[in-house]
């Protein structure tokens, strides 16, 4: 940004950090939450919103939702969360939306787990989704029992993927897979890379327990 001495990346990081702290402070207040939610919805959808701040806005929407009773505001917040999951797959907003929707679904019937898992699977299969997004979506699909994610999880687990993405895929295989996955998991558990061997060992244990 012109007129400030810091590199843009550092400046944006400081700016987002300050805004983050400000929203946390506002969340502790008893009044003004509806107005805050309206701002978060607008910023989460604005095309010129910094990708990192958009991710924060999505996370804050999930935190605001249980504290707001106004039906119109809730509808706008829900629409923004679903929209982030459907359209913001290159950054972190989509995976944050999936996590928030999954969490809200444990309490609010307007976020049925089957709808969250289906939308998360659709995002997972989108070639435009980033590795960071797919890492989180695999976790959401695994937790929600979305077996449609299993083929992708198997493929990612079996190839030389980014370590965090691969670990997430291995964990998803453990949650969604069956005894037929044990040969792959045993091979991975014998890896010298703990980032692969540990989640593989945990996945083996999970599948074996589920078959008892």
Q: Which of 54, 107, 50 lies closest to 85, judged by CA?
A: 54
Give backbone dihedrals phi and psi of 161, rounded to 5 degrees, phi first.
-85, 175
Q: What is the mean pLDDT of the chain?
A: 88
Token pair recorded at residue 167: 């670990």
In this predicted structure, what is the pLDDT of residue 45?
92
SS3 readout for 114-175: HHHHHHHHHHHCCCCCCHHHHHHHHHHHHHCCCHHHHHHHHHHHHCCCCHHHHHHHHHHHHH
Residue for token digits 């604005």? 46
pLDDT score at 49: 86
pLDDT at position 143: 97
Question: Residue 59: which of 76, 42, 29, 81 has the closest Cα?
Answer: 81
22-61, pLDDT tens digit by residue?
665 666 676 768 898 999 999 999 988 888 889 989 999 9
Rounded mean pLDDT, 191-203: 95
């Amino acid at each position: 940004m012109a007129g400030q001495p810091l590199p843009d990346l550092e400046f944006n990081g400081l700016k987002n950090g300050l805004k983050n702290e400000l929203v946390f402070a506002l969340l502790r207040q008893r009044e003004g939450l509806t107005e805050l939610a309206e701002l978060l919805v607008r910023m989460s959808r604005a095309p010129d919103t910094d990708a990192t701040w958009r991710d924060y806005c999505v996370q804050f929407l999930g935190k605001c939702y249980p504290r707001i009773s106004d039906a119109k505001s809730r509808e706008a917040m829900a629409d923004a969360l679903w929209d982030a999951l459907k359209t913001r797959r290159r950054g972190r907003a989509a995976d944050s939306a999936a996590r928030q929707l999954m969490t809200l679904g444990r309490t609010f019937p307007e976020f049925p787990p089957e709808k969250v898992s289906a939308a998360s699977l659709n995002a997972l299969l989108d070639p435009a989704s980033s590795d960071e997004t797919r890492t989180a979506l695999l976790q959401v699909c695994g937790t929600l029992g979305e077996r449609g994610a299993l083929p992708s999880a198997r493929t990612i687990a079996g190839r030389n993927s980014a370590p965090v993405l691969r670990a997430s895929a291995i964990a998803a295989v453990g949650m969604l897979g069956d005894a037929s996955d044990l040969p792959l998991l045993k091979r991975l558990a014998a890896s010298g890379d703990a980032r692969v061997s540990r989640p593989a060992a945990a996945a083996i244990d999970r599948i074996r327990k589920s078959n008892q």
